[in-house]
Structure 1
Amino acid sequence: MQTPPSFSNVETDVSTSSKGLLAFWLRLTTPRPTHSDDPVMARTLRERERRSRLISFIIPFVFFAPLFLLQQAYQDIGTAIAIILMMPLSILSLICNRFGKQTIASLLLLFGMEIAIEGSLLGAPGGLGTGWLLTFDLFIFPLFVSAILLSRFYLWFFLALHCTFILGDVFLLKHTADISALIAQWNGPAVLFARPLILQLGIALLSALAVSSMERAIERADNAEELVALERAVSQERKELEEAAFHLRDVHAHVANGHYKVRANVPQGNALWEVARSLNNLLSRFEHAWQAEHRLKRTEEEIQRLVTAIDEAKQGKHPLWPANSGTSVDLLLSRIVTKEMRTPRNTTSFPKKTPWA
């Protein structure tokens, strides 16, 4: 069964197979990939790697984006301070991301953006004017980033924070003349905060839905991968089990033909390993019993030869003494038969008088 790859694996393939500047940047700014055989831990590690790569892609934009405000920073001290704070926070976030602290890196990145946006509004020369109203829209970016890098709690936290900033700036900051005229024209300050608040609420809801859908898609892909891995493992285990069964059948065939030295060679992780070990113990005992039976049979044969030789000696004949056979009969031969008595018949005649005559 063929299943689509998970988003985490797609990103892993991009980071490992791509060459050039992108691959170098990911190796430089993300922690070393780790793996685990535990499915739950493997999912957690893949999610950390996904967030780490996203942070590495977002930080360069956050670092260089304030450079577009340099012209404004010459006239606005608040914007200049925000840019100065934003850049070191981006670098610090990058360092935390490299050492696997994705949550801290994300929060540093987000609070750096918050400081830059709100700092420029607080330092607006002459107070809040119509030209600064579009700055409220920039709060959309950290809101969306919090949705894809952190849990949903942080999404609602930053939504509440942005609403507080927007309402606080509208009601607490000093208004310029054009803002006062705009409020008088529309019979209230709602014209200032209605649009940014609607954007914040809409982006928050859409981000929550999109992230939830993405998480379900990743979960389905991970489940499909685990199912494929499980099927592959079951197939491999079945193959190993069949091979072990065929091997045990061959061992039994050899034993049935009298080959007691054969042994079952089954890997320890196999389900039939205990059976193979018990069979090997049984075969070892069979082999020892067979060797003992063989020695006993050989000893009986040698004893019979020795008895025949003794009978021939009693009859005055020249006996053919048994050769050393490696049995206990050799000890008897060494006591009964001398070297001279083993001399061949055509060279030496056996004494007629023997101890048994």
Structure 2
Amino acid sequence: MDARSGFWGWWLNLAAPPRNEQTMAGPLLREKMRKAELTAYFLFVVACFVVFDLILALVSSHFMSVIFVLIFALFLGLLTFLNRAGRTQVSAILLVSAMLLSIIFVIAFTPSTTSAIDLFPTYDFFVYPIALGSLFIPRKFIFPFTIVAIAFIVFNLLFQHHGADIERVKGTSGVAIWLIRPAAVLLVIAIVNWLGMRSIEKAILRADRAEELVTAQNQVTIQAREISQQKEQLESEITQILLVHREAANGNYAVRAPVRANDAIWQIGRSLNNLLARYEQFAHDQRELSAQQEDIEKVAIYIENIRRGQRIAPPLCHSLAGKRMLTALGATVLPAEQRPFSPSSPDQRPFPGSSVEQQPFPTSTRYQWNDGGPQQGRPASDRLPHVRPHNTGNISPNQERTY
């Protein structure tokens, strides 16, 4: 959309509708804007003639002419306002009508002594409003204005008084030739202008449509490029999501999908990352639970062997619960390389709230195991509870407890 600039831009902004997206939205609106600007140009030319006539009237001190010129100037102001308001057809029709009326007024009030040599050239002045008006009025009004001009010529020539040479021809067949000449000129001008404006309008509409087609093709190309880029980006993101699924299926729950704000499937990535985080925590808890179960089984076997009187090394526990159980059993008298883990702070203990006093397990006390009651001569505190004989040689494999 070209911006108006300079003197003519100022005049068009004053006498024509503004150029914006609403007034230039389509071919028909652009054609309407073109005619409105042509009307504004023609109004400027007519206004210059009005100023010139006003100066002549003031110089000649013909005050009646001054009044007529001022009235016509006000009429031009009204036409400019209508054209500026978007009533271009109304303004153009009124302007051409005013031009026709001016010519009719001049011919009608011509002195009756005017001869044919002076009268017939004045009929040719009707060509100007028809030829110029066809540039900015609708084509359908060209022939009505032509018919009005021809009707006035017939009326003026046949029913008004003229010079003696004209009056002599009125009663003869020669008057038909006088009528045919100006009427034929006006009809030819009207037909030529009608056909010319028709071809011009079609060419302008064709050019507008071609321009719109080029613009639409450019937009389609841009949209296709954007769609292709979005498709490539979407395929890349889907590939990354598939890789994350593949890693997760292989047990790698620490993998994460890339999440960016401008990604098309970033919500899927966020949901997948949340799911993987929960699976990772679940796998960690599962490993911890398995380690605890294994350590509990080891400690249980260790306790069973102690109850049978066997002296074996404490099991190597990996979980905090297993290490805490060994510490609670008092297995702290072992060598450093076999000493179980002892939490250094309450926060590292599997049971922080526990206040049980830790005592060393009495593995250093020697006992004589039998299947009877407590030994004689020993205090009750040094005796273990009654257990079955621990003679492993007499225990069959079916009676041995397995884990």
1:93-125 CA distance string (max 9 Å, x none): 111111111011112211111221111112213
**Number of residue-to-residue matches in the alignment:** 310
Per the alignment, in what secondary structure is the counterpart of residue 351 of structure 1?
A: coil
For structure 2, the residue ranges without an aligned partner over 5 or more in a row are 245-254, 292-318, 332-339, 362-403
**1:142 to 2:132 alignment:** no
Query: For 2:27, what is the secondary structure of its paired residue?
Result: helix
In the alignment, which of 27, 41, 63 is matched to residue 43 of structure 1? Answer: 27
Contact 1:82 1:120 survives alignment (8 Å): no
Provide Cα deviations, 1:224-269, integer angstroms capped at 9, x if missing partner: 1122112101110111011112212332343315432425736xxx
String of CA shifts for 1:200-225, please: whole Å, max 9, x gaps: 10011100111111112112211211
**C-alpha distance in structure 2 between counterparts of 1:86 and 1:283, whole Å:** 76
Q: Secondary structure in 2 aligned to 1:32?
A: coil
1:197 to 162, 167, 183: 183
Q: Quote how far apart the aligned CAs of 1:299 are.
A: 2.8
Pairs within 5 Å for 1:117-156:
117-126=103-112, 129-130=115-116, 131-156=118-143
Residues 318-339 of structure 1 show CA distances to partners (whole Å, capped at 9, x for unaligned) of 64559999xxxx9x94xx2249
Q: Distance in 2 between matches of 1:202 and 1:220?
A: 27
Q: Which amino acid aligns with 1:151?
A: P
Q: Which residue of 2 aligns with 1:55?
A: 39
C-alpha displacement at 1:136, in angstroms? 1.5
1:187-266 superposed matches below 5 A:
187-255=173-241, 256-257=243-244, 258-263=255-260, 265=262
2:326 corresponds in structure 1 to 312
Shift of 1:50: 0.3
Q: How does 1:249-328 map to 2 (within 5 A)?
A: 249-255=235-241, 256-257=243-244, 258-263=255-260, 265=262, 276=264, 279-303=265-289, 304=291, 305-317=319-331, 319-320=341-342
Kindly indicate which of the two structures has a greater share of residues assigned to helix: 1
Give me the CA root mean square deviation: 3.7
Q: Which has the higher contact order (CA 8 A, sep 6+)?
A: 1
* Secondary structure at the counterpart of residue 175 of structure 1: coil
Is 1:352 the counterpart of 2:359? The answer is yes
Look up the match of 2:352: 337
Q: Aligned equivalents of 2:146 and 2:344: distance in 1?
A: 106
SS of equivalent to 2:26: helix
Instruction: Tell me the residue number matched to 1:6.
Output: none
Question: How far, CA to CA, are the matches of 2:64 and 2:180 in structure 1?
Answer: 25
**Alpha-carbon separation, structure 2, partners of 1:93 and 1:59:** 8
CA contact (8 A) 2:96 2:129 kept: yes
Residues 92-107 of structure 1 correspond to what in structure 2 (within 5 A)?
92-107=78-93
179, 199, 222: which one aligns with 2:166: 179
Q: Give 2:322's aligned amino acid.
A: T
- Distance across 2 between alignment mates of 1:294 and 1:142: 90
Match of 2:147 among 160, 165, 184: 160
**1:174 & 1:145 partners in 2: Cα distance?**
31
- Residues 89 and 138, structure 2, Cα contact 8 Å, conserved in 1: no
Identity of aligned residues (%): 22
Q: Any conservation in 2 of the 1:79–1:116 contact (CA below 8 Å)?
A: no
Q: What is the CA–CA distance in structure 2 between the aligned matches of 1:194 and 1:149, rounded to whole Å?
A: 28
The CA distance in 1 between the partners of 2:126 and 2:120, in whole Å, is 12
Equivalents in 1 of 2:202, 2:129: separation in Å? 23
TM-score (normalizing by structure 2): 0.66
Structure 2 letter corresponding to 1:312: L
State the AA in 2 paired with 1:190: A
State the shift of 1:84 in Å: 5.3
Q: Write the distance in 2 (CA, Å) between the matches of 1:319 and 1:84.
A: 115
Alpha-carbon spacing, 1:322–1:248, altered in 2? closer, same or farther (3 Å): farther
Within 1, Cα distance between the matches of 2:131 and 2:328? 116
Q: Please, what TM-score do these two structures have when normalized by structure 1? A: 0.74
Aligned equivalents of 2:346 and 2:198: distance in 1?
89
Q: CA deviation at 1:81?
A: 7.9
